[in-house]
Amino acid sequence: MKPIGYWLNRTDKALTHCMNDMLEGFGLTRTAWQVLNVIRDTPESTDADVLSVLASNADTSTLIAAIDTVLAEGWVARPAPERLALTPGGRQQLADVAGRVEAFRSLSTTGISPDEYRTAVFVLERMTHNLETPRQHETAVRPTQQNAPVEGPAGLMDRYQGHQQIHRTA
């Protein structure tokens, strides 16, 4: 079985490639569509708001390029400096692609029950929380003097293999 990191990376690439293909006829990419949604959901958002909300989805240069694209296409305007708002054309663009987005979601979840989908999201959310929570992460990865293992390399290997066994059966 391939590790979860492999599937996370491969799935994200597949999601992006497929969604880009499905939105291409509308002049959108997955990232530009996400930018439009953030601006719709946060009226008069700032560039920083968009960058913050989508920081996990793309790097800063990709997000800035997507903001520039939606501005250039007239789907978004600047009602004030550093502010972003959907134009009527932007609202129409989101309405026009809604059917394609729904088809994309249906395709990506073919053969997956709603319970399986919720479980997958829950597991990924929990893993992210585990890794982003400093206290848990720091003690799990970098032992301190007080909790440093006292056994030699063989004992550490036994613990590592036990840790892997837990994750294989979980």
Q: Is the pLDDT of residue 150 over 50?
A: no
Does the pLDDT of residue 99 top 70, yes or no? yes
CA gap 141, 41 in Å, rounded: 38
- Report the SS3 class of residue 34: helix
Least confident of 9-18, 77-86, 140-149: 140-149
CATH match for 4-108 among 1.10.8.100, 1.10.3720.10, 3.50.50.60, 1.10.10.10: 1.10.10.10
Start and end residues for every CATH 1.10.10.10 domain found in the chain: 4-108
| Res. 152: pLDDT tops 60 | no
List, as one string, the DSSP characters of 67-121: HHHHHHTTSEE-SSTTEEEE-HHHHHHHHHHHHHHHHHHHHHTTT--HHHHHHHH
Q: How does DSSP classify residue 151?
A: S
Banded model confidence at residue 101, pLDDT cuts 50, 70, 90: very high
- In the prediction, which pLDDT does 103 show? 96
pLDDT digits (tens, 9 = 90+) for 7-25: 999 999 999 999 999 999 9
Percent of the chain past pLDDT 70, that is, above it, reads: 79
Choice between 152 and 35, residue whose per-residue pLDDT is larger: 35
- pLDDT(161) > 70: no
